[in-house]
Structure 1
Amino acid sequence: MKVHHLTGYIQSIYLVEYPHGLLLLDGCCRADVTMLSEFIEQDLQRPLSDLKTLIVTHMHPDHAGAAHKLRQLTGCVIVSADKPQQWYRGFNGLLMHWIDMALTVFVARKLKKPWKNVFYSRKLKPDVKAKEGNQVPHFPDWVLLETPGHTDRDLSVLHKEENRVYVADLMIKLKRGFIAPFPVFHPNQYRQSLRRIKQLTPTKIMLAHGGMLQMQDVDFNHMMNEMIEQAPKLPRTPLRASLLKIKRVMGKIDTDKDNKL
């Protein structure tokens, strides 16, 4: 087994190579399809049909955006969490889908990346709906963990033998340290998911935003305890953030009026 760590449009990509096939640990951005295809065919010298399984850890644009297109190109199996409803459902879901795509473009511009098409279907059509502890199709040495909080359907992917885990957006690594993702729709579940990863005491943690962490290079228990302690106690969602911003603006307007009087 060899894990290739690639730089995607706004996130890290982890492509796992075996003699019998390739496993993609997340669904990437729509903008990553060409780069990923070229890497498989040119760098690895393998046909696209060698991509056997693709996991969608959750439905955000940098984790699900390339899934349908890659299945069309490769014939791979798409695996996602076993949920009865789509994440982006109804009018609110439609609005949130467009907001998330706009945020993806915004982050790309902050990273000085050129504009690329990030549009993708808000309705995922997986081949396999997975539950806690299920083995990854074609790659039974990897198992799926339910680690919700960021959304209601987040998955992490654990390699049992090496005890390395891909956690998607469960934590974000910045220069100043580790922070919770935005949004966090379910704060109680989010803290429980952090505790779940802490209990694993993994040798390596693979982040969608922050690269691959070697646990001997960090004080793992301190890092996780700090993450759990600082995790949001209330939901942090685009709607709540917008309302708080409006409230601050209105408060500033009222203060300015009082000062003028």
Structure 2
Amino acid sequence: MKINTNQNVIHQITVPTPFLVGDVNVFAVQGKQNILIDTGPDTPEAVEALTEGLKEIGLALEDIDILILTHHHPDHIGLAYMFESTAITAGHRKLQPWLEKDMEHYSRIHDFFQEFLTENGMDKRWIDKIQSQRDHYVKYSRPVQLNCILKEGDQCPGMPGWNVIETPGHAQSHIALMQQEDNVMIAGDHIIGHISSNAIIEAPYKEEKSRPKTLLQYRTSLKKCTEASKVFAGHGKSVDDPGALITKRLNEQDSKAEMFLRKLGNEKKSVFELCREVYPEIHRKQPDLTFSETLGHLDLMEAEGRTAAKKKNGVYLYEKI
């Protein structure tokens, strides 16, 4: 698929993944320098699709000069190692420990979630399942050095007229790219047309004292993108009216928060207890995502002064206020 914008011709390459989200879109920009945005996971099928996709537009792997990664999830960074010897790898600073597979970082995350999930009502069986899932996802990428740090307002390397927007929420390392002239965006997983991106709970980074409130971050990041004229997403079709979709997503979150409040009722419940009530079947397959969804909306209601949590017998219990 070829995408024409006012200043650039961008090629979309669809790469398969072994994950429930399905195929991932990566983007190749040809010019004085050849840019690749995201890669797909480290699987033989993804290697073949990416290699063939580049070949169709006249490029080999070694022709890529700059690799820009929107965030640290393995379906977006898994094949970065294929470009390490020939391309500059660029991304947000919070991408670095994930991309380089910093074992201290992984250990700190493991320890955080052992305590955090226990304090929020999850028993060992489910905690072990989530930790096992995390260990499994890590296998779909290999360690790569991050050569270029990108931050809010930077010009995208090799892409004149495109700026970096920091968009944390779905991932703490998330960035999107916006063309100045016509506000076209390459948005990674920040804005997806057919599904709502999950504001995944993350552990605090080494320099941070508390966990990020990811749904609150995500809402702020969405509001930064209301002027986008068109969005090319990391999954699915492009979004032709991002402003309307953003409004819809924010309204859906508000409605879901009301639903969680009704489920909470006049009782005191832990995050995982409420999660199991709201997602009686789905939580068995996706305990991490359903837990994130539940906690995110409790964070939102807490920020609005509608709920509060108190610790009892080592577990935080939420109630209406």
TM-score by length of 1: 0.70
Task: Quickly say closer, same or farther: Cα 1:80–1:98, change in 2 above 3 A.
Answer: farther
Alignment pair present for 1:120 and 2:136: no
The percentage of aligned residue pairs carrying the same residue is 22
Provide the C-alpha distance between the structure 2 equivalents of 1:227 and 1:5, rounded to a whole number of angstroms: 25
Q: Is the 8 A contact 2:39 2:50 kept in 1?
A: no
| Among candidates 221, 229, 236, match of residue 251 of structure 2 | 229
Task: Quickly say closer, same or farther: Cα 1:213–1:97, change in 2 above 3 A.
Answer: farther
Provide the C-alpha distance between the structure 1 equivalents of 2:185 and 2:79, rounded to a whole number of angstroms: 22
Aligned residue type for 2:37 = L
| Structure having the larger proportion of residues in strand | 1
Aligned-pair CA distance for 1:181: 2.3
Aligned-pair CA distance for 1:191: 0.3
Aligned-pair CA distance for 1:203: 2.1
Q: Mind listing any 5+ residue stretches in structure 1 that lack a counterpart?
A: 105-117, 235-239, 250-261
Q: Residue by residue, what CA displacement relative to the aligned partner does 1:38-65 show, whole Å, maximum 9, x if unpaired?
A: 2323x12234332111111111111111
Aligned-pair CA distance for 1:189: 0.9
Alignment pair present for 1:83 and 2:94: yes
Alignment pair present for 1:36 and 2:82: no
SS in 2 for 1:54: strand
Task: Quickly say closer, same or farther: Cα 1:192–1:70, change in 2 above 3 A.
Answer: same
**1:26 corresponding residue in structure 2:** 38
| Among candidates 190, 198, 203, match of residue 229 of structure 2 | 203
Task: Quickly say closer, same or farther: Cα 1:21–1:50, change in 2 above 3 A.
Answer: farther
Aligned-pair CA distance for 1:194: 0.4
Task: Quickly say closer, same or farther: Cα 1:29–1:242, change in 2 above 3 A.
Answer: farther
Provide the C-alpha distance between the structure 1 equivalents of 2:95 and 2:36, rounded to a whole number of angstroms: 24
Aligned residue type for 1:83 = K
**1:153 corresponding residue in structure 2:** 173
Aligned residue type for 1:52 = D
Provide the C-alpha distance between the structure 2 equivalents of 1:241 and 1:50, rounded to a whole number of angstroms: 48
**2:71 corresponding residue in structure 1:** 58
Alignment pair present for 1:164 and 2:184: yes
TM-score by length of 2: 0.58
Task: Quickly say closer, same or farther: Cα 1:54–1:85, change in 2 above 3 A.
Answer: closer
Provide the C-alpha distance between the structure 2 equivalents of 1:167 and 1:97, rounded to a whole number of angstroms: 28
Q: Residue by residue, what CA displacement relative to the aligned partner does 1:190-232 show, whole Å, maximum 9, x if unpaired?
A: 100000011xx222101112221223xxxx4432112123337
**1:181 corresponding residue in structure 2:** 198
Aligned residue type for 1:3 = I
Q: Mind listing any 5+ residue stretches in structure 2 that lack a counterpart?
A: 1-7, 17-21, 111-127, 203-213, 261-270, 282-321
Task: Tell me how many residue pairs correspond in the alignment.
Answer: 218
| Among candidates 11, 29, 43, match of residue 17 of structure 1 | 29
CA RMSD of superposed structures (Å): 3.3
Q: Residue by residue, what CA displacement relative to the aligned partner does 1:97-149 show, whole Å, maximum 9, x if unpaired?
A: 86257579xxxxxxxxxxxxx6213x552110111111122223222110001
Aligned residue type for 2:69 = V
Provide the C-alpha distance between the structure 2 equivalents of 1:182 and 1:169, rounded to a whole number of angstroms: 10
Task: Quickly say closer, same or farther: Cα 1:225–1:84, change in 2 above 3 A.
Answer: closer
Aligned-pair CA distance for 1:81: 0.4
Provide the C-alpha distance between the structure 1 equivalents of 2:245 and 2:47, rounded to a whole number of angstroms: 34
Provide the C-alpha distance between the structure 2 equivalents of 1:138 and 1:130, rounded to a whole number of angstroms: 13
| Among candidates 4, 13, 22, match of residue 6 of structure 1 | 13
Provide the C-alpha distance between the structure 1 equivalents of 2:153 and 2:200, rounded to a whole number of angstroms: 25
Task: Quickly say closer, same or farther: Cα 1:51–1:210, change in 2 above 3 A.
Answer: same
